[in-house]
Structure formats: C-alpha cells, structure tokens
C-alpha cells in the first residue's frame, strides 16, 4: 500500500518554494519547514487515487492534487510533492462541501478499478482543510508515486 500526507504550513512558504524545480530542490526546502511537527492528515494512498480520478473526469478539484507549485515530475521513485496556498485550500474545501460525501461514494465504488472505497478520505479531508482554512494557512501534499 502506498502512502500520502497533507501538511499544514504557513501561506508564505510559497516564497521559498517558488524557485524550487526538482524534487531535490523541494526536499531541501521542506527540510527547513519542520514538517514533522506540523499538523497533518495521513491520507494513505488516497491522494494518488483522488488526484487521478478527478483528473480523469476533468473536475476542477483535480488542480488541488497538482498544486499551485509542484516539483517536476520525473521517472524516479521519489515521492511527489506540491503546494496549495490558502485561497486554493478554501476553494477546494468549498468544492468538497458543494459535492458532498455521496458524490465521492459514487466516484469510488467498492467494485471498480478504484474499488478500495477511497471515499473514506472525504470527512477527514474536509475536517483537516477546515482547520487549515480557519488559520488562513496553506498545505503541502507529499505522496508516493
């Protein structure tokens, strides 16, 4: 099983990340943010599934999983990483609220290629993003390819 985490960070960390291109650049910058102590959501492998499925149905929410800023995609096995500022967090949370849990239950049935019931992430993701949004903070997503 893969893994993925969403970390709460200050909105202004984008100033450090804007010049980062490669994953090595990003990992160097991330080392300065003390992510181990940051509030986070363990999204397991669902980050990858949610991003892929929303992109497949051409839903605007897919941009959250690409990020405002992101490390270059490469052929390495290194984890992917992206940043979403506070405005993007609020916009995605609004989309989640508008769509509701039933949308995601239907999007991730238990019997399809995404059959592990990835909709479990809906409530914890909404709860986490509400807290992040209440503090006007941003997020960094880090997930296994």
Domain boundaries, the chain: 4-143
Model pLDDT for residues 34-93, shown as the tens digit of each residue: 999 999 999 988 888 898 889 998 988 999 999 999 999 877 778 899 999 999 999 999
Q: How far is CA 15 from the centre of its chain?
A: 19
For the CA atoms of the chain, what is the radius of gyration? Answer: 15
pLDDT of residue 83: 97
User: What's the CA gap between 85 and 140, in Å, rounded?
Assistant: 9
Model confidence at 100: pLDDT above 90: yes
Beta bridge partners of 7: 40, 140
The answer to whether the beta carbons of residues 4 and 142 sit under 8 Å apart is: yes
Helix (H) or strand (E) holding 128: helix 122-134
**4-143 belongs to which homologous superfamily?**
YfbM-like super family (3.40.1760.10)
């Amino acid at each position: 099983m893969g893994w993925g985490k969403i970390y709460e960070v200050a909105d202004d960390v984008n100033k450090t990340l804007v010049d980062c291109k490669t994953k090595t650049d990003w990992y160097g910058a991330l080392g300065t943010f003390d992510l181990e102590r940051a509030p986070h959501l363990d999204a397991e492998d669902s980050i990858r599934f949610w991003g892929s499925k929303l992109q497949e149905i051409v839903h605007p929410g897919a941009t959250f999983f690409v990020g405002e800023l992101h490390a270059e995609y490469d052929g390495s096995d290194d984890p992917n990483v992206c940043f979403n500022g506070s405005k993007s967090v609020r916009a995605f949370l609004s989309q989640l609220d508008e769509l509701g849990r039933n949308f995601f239950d239907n999007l991730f049935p238990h019997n399809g290629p995404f059959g592990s019931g990835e909709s479990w992430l809906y409530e914890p993701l909404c709860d986490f993003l509400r807290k992040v949004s209440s503090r006007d903070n941003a997020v960094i997503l880090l997930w296994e390819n």
